[in-house]
Amino acid sequence: MESTHQKKATFGKRERLPCIAPLLTTVEETPQMVSARVRGHFPKWLSGYLLRIGPGKFEFGKDKYNHWFDGMALLHQFRIEKGTVTYRSKFLQSDTYKANSVHDRIVISEFGTLALPDPCKNVFERFMSKFELPAITDNTNVNYVRYKGDYYVSTETNFMNKVDIKTLEKTEKVDWSKFIAVNGATAHPHYDPDGTAYNMGNSYGPHGSCYNIIRVPPENVDLGETIHGAQVICSIASAERMKPSYYHSFGMTRNYIIFIEQPLKMNLWKIVTSRIRGKPFSSGISWEPQYNTRFHVVDKHTGQLLPGMYYSKPFVTFHQINAFEDQGCVVIDLCCQDDGRSLEVYQLQNLRKAGEGLDQVYNSVGRSFPRRFVLPLHVSLNDPEGENLSPLSYSSASAVKQADGKIWCSYENLHPEDLEEEGGVEFPQINYGQFSGKKYRFFYGCGFRHLVGDSLIKVDVVNKTLKIWREDGFYPSEPVFVPAPGTSEEDGGVILSAVITPDQYCLSVLE
């Protein structure tokens, strides 16, 4: 069913990768504001806070975390004003962080690390503790998000932590499940121009698993509100009752939400019994490419699931780039991998290897590339089978109706072959405020010639060209686009990225 323009990418193996173990060790926080040395210049109009978050502590006492995603959340703040920059960082004072600190060991399980029973208990008590429901971590170390003008740090559990962005202090712990019937939400919501937020979260019940689309109103009615007024506007049943798909983000246009049900499966039975089995939660997630990937399209105004059944060959996506509507179609651009086993690779024992061992780990990882899919919205019984239903002359992506009524979607690559030499691209960002949900031309991301990003890339999806920034030994984080005041050009602005090296930490500004 694949179009002739699609071919499996082949990659040259890399050798003698530099060791990145120093980047994956516990660091000290910098709670007092320090002045940064500025090289070059900042645009005079650039002013405000750049907020970043990520894992910064990888052990308590003799207990060590196993996975990169497990480290305790460290909040970073760069304040930019009149060409000067100050920096501070603080560990998020989550309940998890405080409990681990008090006991000087890991007492709450994370994604890839199972908390062991209290060694002070007797043998019987330790055995029985395996049958207790595990505490859910509030180590929200993935992303800053906004709801009703307030800032939260989020992961994918049911907890978020509200943060004062000036002081980096946690002000409140918020539980999604106290407001709506979901067991968590993604760390990548979308926003309408008026501030209305949309997100997705799973729910698990006696009738199976559902993927839920959440709407949060744009403003607080009363002081002290958090996500009050949140609603589930649509629930989509999982194709498999006890094995819903894992997802990290979703797509949104002006009128539609696009959810991708992919063959990266969460075995709920394995996850629930992980403590009894002595395994971390991550052991319940598996790549099952015998299943195809499915796109679900929902009218975000009515909450109605559109009847179209859109499928493609199996792939996994963690981050969507952008989505928009054109000529009766939804166009969605994604960073895609053909191998969904990459989560397993990011165990700290792998990332801390050196020499040939590190090369082998890198060369085993699937690469991520930008792809475009086109989903025609108004498919009728009279539409011909076996023909491309996409009317978009500028895209080679196709949508072909099959005999069973399903629409088979084949992608268009949005990159030149040069991107293969850069190790693919991830962490895509666009000029979100002006072009989210609209036809666009540029996105920015990190190139992966190492297991962590080692370049910043600007991709022109119309001309399929690249602009690359790289310096040896520098590892940039997800780029943030800041538009220049008064400009109408899509790429009129700067890119901000926090860049780490084995011996320093800096902020890069690319105009």
Does residue 356 lie in a domain region?
Answer: yes
Please name the amino acid found at residue 318. F
What pLDDT, on the 0 to 100 scale, is given for residue 180?
97
What backbone torsions phi and psi does residue 424 show, to the nearest 5 degrees? 80, -170
Of 19-33, 131-145, 383-397, give the lowest mean pLDDT range. Answer: 131-145
Q: For residue 295, what are the CA distances in angstroms to 210, 220, 250, 331, 439?
A: 15, 33, 10, 12, 20
* Token code pair at residue 128: 């029985």
pLDDT tens digits for range 442-496: 999 999 999 999 999 999 999 999 999 999 999 999 999 999 999 999 999 999 9
What pLDDT, on the 0 to 100 scale, is given for residue 7?
38
What pLDDT, on the 0 to 100 scale, is given for residue 12?
57
What number is the average pLDDT over the span 64-77?
Answer: 98
Q: What letter does residue 166 receive in the DSSP assignment?
A: T
**268 SS3 class:** helix
What pLDDT, on the 0 to 100 scale, is given for residue 223?
86
Query: How far apart (Å, rounded) are the C-alpha atoms in residues 164 and 169?
Result: 5
pLDDT tens digits for range 162-196: 999 999 999 999 999 999 999 999 999 999 999 99
What pLDDT, on the 0 to 100 scale, is given for residue 119?
58
What pLDDT, on the 0 to 100 scale, is given for residue 124?
44
Neighbours of 353 (CB within 10 A): 19
Contact call for residues 323 and 284 (beta carbons, < 8 A): no
For residue 133, name the pLDDT band (cuts at 50, 70, 90): low
Does residue 245 lie in a domain region?
Answer: yes
Range of the domain at 388: 238-414
For residue 122, name the pLDDT band (cuts at 50, 70, 90): low
Query: How far apart (Å, rounded) are the C-alpha atoms in residues 214 and 231?
Result: 6
What pLDDT, on the 0 to 100 scale, is given for residue 10?
41
Dihedral of alpha carbons 41, 43, 49, 52, sign: negative
What pLDDT, on the 0 to 100 scale, is given for residue 121?
59
**Number of structural domains, the chain?**
1
Does residue 489 lie in a domain region?
Answer: no
Longest dimension (CA), the chain: 71
Which of 76, 258, 202, 228 is CA-nearest to residue 147?
228
Residues tagged in the binding site annotation for Fe cation: 188, 248, 319
Which of 227, 193, 215 is CA-nearest to residue 299?
215
Q: Which residues, including other chains, have CB under 8 Å from residue 198's CB and lie 6 or more apart? A: 189, 190, 191, 192, 213, 214, 215, 216, 252, 257, 300
* Token code pair at residue 401: 């109706």
Does residue 508 lie in a domain region?
Answer: no
pLDDT tens digits for range 214-252: 999 999 999 889 999 999 999 999 999 999 999 999 999
Query: How far apart (Å, rounded) are the C-alpha atoms in residues 505 and 508?
Result: 10
Whether residue 131 is predicted with pLDDT greater than 60 in this model: the reply is: no
Sheet containing 412-413: order of strands: 316-326, 329-337, 369-376, 412-413
What number is the average pLDDT over the span 306-330?
Answer: 97
Whether residue 364 is predicted with pLDDT greater than 90 in this model: the reply is: yes
Element (H, E) at 130: none
Residues tagged in the binding site annotation: 188, 248, 319
**172 SS3 class:** strand
